[in-house]
Amino acid sequence: MPFRLMILSSSVVLSALLGGCQTAKSAARVYHQEILSESYVIDRKYKSMKGPSSGVQVTLLDSMGEDERELLWIRGYKAVMVGADGESNMSQEFMCHSNLDFNAQKHRFLFEQNKFFNPRLFTLSQGQFEIEFPPGFGIPIYSDEEMHLTTQVLNLNLDNADLEVRHKVRIDFMRDKDLSAPLKPLFTSSAYGLVLLDGENPYFGLEKEETDEHAHGTGCLVGFNADNHTYGDRLGQKFTGHWVVPPGRQVNRTLVTQLMNLPFDTTIHYIAVHLHPFAESLELYDLTADQTVFKSHAENRKEGIGLNHVDAFSSIEGVPVFKDHEYELISVYNNTTEEDQDSMAVMYLYLLDRDIDFSS
């Protein structure tokens, strides 16, 4: 598995947010860890989650051990499809997803934290191939923390394919020792759409007598699984986040308060969105405040099946979210074919971590 560490040829100026003001305080190099996946042969059609895949362990500074541990800041993530040579451009329609995960338990120990950390750092898929946090923000991580990169391909359009492709993945990061002021720390949470497979109450983790449509929304649909992966809640009910959309338009609403698991009131500064073809939109809605937090629109291909673009959210100021509020995720799909299609609906939230202070 080829790895390559690169440095920008010129300094990149980032703004540290101090006292609520944007002040140019830190100018430091941005490093790139570049990873090429295995070569994947595409010789038939593959639906989502059905194509060839592989995984590899990644660290940002390979030479660093525990004795030389240093603080790093992840600033962004990018994934594109290339040919077997690792350079030639290939259609992005062959990307199923690129996932980067880390050991959340070890991370919690190293940073002396008690709150839950989502092990998923990034997912990129059709419609969004790059994440760059707003100036002054980053995910803190130590140099010897291992991450796991998983890549997978798909082919929804070519009947007689004869191709060899790879994922080219790039992780952008900065070294804290290069900074004149620390960045604002981000941590991850997620909100994902579900449908009920087995159970009586379409609210994940809630008893029937606990639910109130005014406070908790209408609940998710009863649906059909698109693969064998299911989620079980504390009541023994079964849900799936990868479900079947029949021909026609479908609106699904999922109560995601427990799934987001906010440890405190904070602000969201970046949202990445994962959707499948035939999606129209995905909306995070604050039921308590009766207002939209963020609504992402998707642009589908005019010919063939696939997504050209999915809206992401990025903000220095951020949008507030509250531990005691109820939140709902609303996905809209419009299956314009005459056969069932698969779907997912996820928002990856990057929130200000108020538990960590690097300023002292």
pLDDT digit string (tens) for 130-171? 999 999 999 999 999 999 999 999 999 999 899 999 999 999
User: Domain spanning 189-352: which CATH class is it, in words?
Assistant: mainly beta
Residue type, 203: Y
- From the list 89, 193, 130, 153, the residue with the least C-alpha distance to 306 is 153
Average model confidence (pLDDT) for the chain?
90
Q: Please return the burial class of 200, using the count of CB atoms within 10 Å of its CB with bins 0-12, 13-18 and 19+.
A: exposed
For the chain, give every domain's residue range.
3-182, 189-352
- pTM of this prediction exceeds 0.85: yes
Which pLDDT does position 357 carry in this prediction?
83
Which pLDDT does position 360 carry in this prediction?
63
Residue 110 Ramachandran class (φ > 0 left, ψ -120 to 50 alpha, else beta): alpha
CA distances (Å), 67 to each of 9, 105, 108, 178, 204, in order?
29, 20, 19, 19, 44
- What average pLDDT does range 163-181 have in this prediction? 95
pLDDT at residue 333 is higher than 90: yes
Neighbouring CB atoms inside 10 A of 303's CB total: 6
Q: What is the CATH number of domain 3-182?
A: 2.60.120
63 token code pair: 């030479």
The tally of CA atoms less than 13 A away on the side-chain side of residue 123 is: 24
Neighbouring CB atoms inside 10 A of 23's CB total: 12
pLDDT at residue 19 is higher than 90: no
Answer yes or no: same fold for 3-182 and 189-352.
Answer: yes
CA distances (Å), 358 to each of 28, 63, 66, 111, 355, in order?
17, 24, 20, 11, 10
Q: What would the pLDDT profile of 50-84 be if each residue is shown by its tens digit?
A: 999 999 999 998 655 556 889 999 999 999 999 99
pLDDT at residue 258 is higher than 60: yes
* Confidence at 286, pLDDT banded by 50, 70, 90: very high
